[in-house]
Structure 1
Amino acid sequence: MTPAELLTDAFDRILKTATAAVDGLSEEQLAARPAADANSVAWLVWHLARVQDDHVADAAGTEQVWTAQDFVSRLDLPFDSSATGFGMSSEDVGHVRASAQLLADYVKAVHDATVAYVAKLTPDDLDRIVDERWDPPVSLGVRLVSVVNDDMQHAGQASYVRGLVTSG
């Protein structure tokens, strides 16, 4: 298995978990929060897609799917177009409302852009430094593993919240 195949498999799992988390839920269920300051399924899935989109597009030197495919207007959230969810308040989390289909479409579009990019990567590409702001500087391989880790945690959280929302 090549590094590109390994990364594709990881991103495929994120896609499957995230889309299963939103599948068949109403907008109200997607926005439901199990506690006052908890994250909703909608916010978790939007956020994981935004982080993947932002980080992979930056590494690839491409425009984010968020703007390139106009998801920024289609989701019509009350945030700056560069928002990814980092540092958002509980009130901000509550503003993320969208249909299951629109969230799934965004996750799928980000996934498609991501796997198209990683399919071209060679093992040597993974050593390229993509962020010098850290000590040690962050390589592409480390950045992609970080995205996989963060996204899979949020996809799992979305699945858990889905269970809470649909069980009662």
Structure 2
Amino acid sequence: MNHAAVLADAFGRIKEVVHDTLDDIPAPALTYRVDSDANTIAWLIWHLTRVQDDHVAGVAGSEQIWTADGWNERFALPFDDGAIGYGQSSSDVAAVTTGADLLRDYHDAVYAKTVAYVNSLSADDLDRVVDENWEPPVTLGVRLVSVVSDDLQHAGQAAYVRGVFDRA
């Protein structure tokens, strides 16, 4: 298996968890909170997808599909178009009341763009420095693994909340 196939597989695993979490989900589960300040499934999936869209577009030198393809308008969230979820408040989390189909469709669009991008990379591309604000500087390979790690954690959190809701 080559580097692109490994990365595509990793992003595919995120997509699988997102789909498994959203499949046949009751609408109230999307905004269920295990406590008054906990993240919701809708927010978690929106956030992980926004992070992937933002970070992949950043290293690819392309516009995020959030704005390029009008997802920002379809979601109609009360946030700046550049918001990806970092530093948001409990009330911001509550503002994401999007339905499962829209969350899934946006995630699938970001996944398709991500896989097309990673399939275009050579092994040498992964050593390219993409962020010099850290010591050591961050390479493309490290940035992509960071996105996978962050997204899998949030996808797992969403799946956990779904399980809690289903058992409640």
The TM tier, using the shorter chain, reads: over 0.9
Gaps of 5+ in 2: none
Aligned to 1:70: 70
Structure 1: 4+ residue segments shifted above 6 A: none
Aligned to 2:31: 31
How far does the alpha carbon of each residue in 1:143-165 deviate from its partner, in whole angstroms, 9 at most, with x for none?
Answer: 00000000000000000000111
Percent identical: 56
What TM-score, normalized to structure 2? 0.98
Q: Provide the secondary structure at the position in 1 that maps to 2:98.
A: coil
Aligned to 1:158: 158
CA–CA distance in structure 1, aligned partners of residues 138 and 89 of structure 2 = 28
Calculate the aligned-residue CA RMSD, in Å. Answer: 0.8
Map 1:1-168 to 2 at 5 A. 1-168=1-168
CA–CA distance in structure 1, aligned partners of residues 93 and 87 of structure 2 = 10
Question: Structure 1 residue 132: deviation in Å?
Answer: 0.9
How far does the alpha carbon of each residue in 1:95-137 deviate from its partner, in whole angstroms, 9 at most, with x for none?
Answer: 0111100000010000000000000111100000111111111
How far does the alpha carbon of each residue in 1:4-27 deviate from its partner, in whole angstroms, 9 at most, with x for none?
Answer: 000000000000101211222233
Question: Structure 1 residue 65: deviation in Å?
Answer: 1.2
| 8 Å Cα contact 1:55-1:147 kept in structure 2 | yes
Q: Provide the secondary structure at the position in 1 that maps to 2:5.
A: helix
Aligned partner letter, 2:67: T
CA–CA distance in structure 1, aligned partners of residues 142 and 89 of structure 2 = 28
CA–CA distance in structure 2, aligned partners of residues 153 and 167 of structure 1 = 21
Q: Provide the secondary structure at the position in 2 that maps to 1:97.
A: coil
What TM-score, normalized to structure 1? 0.98
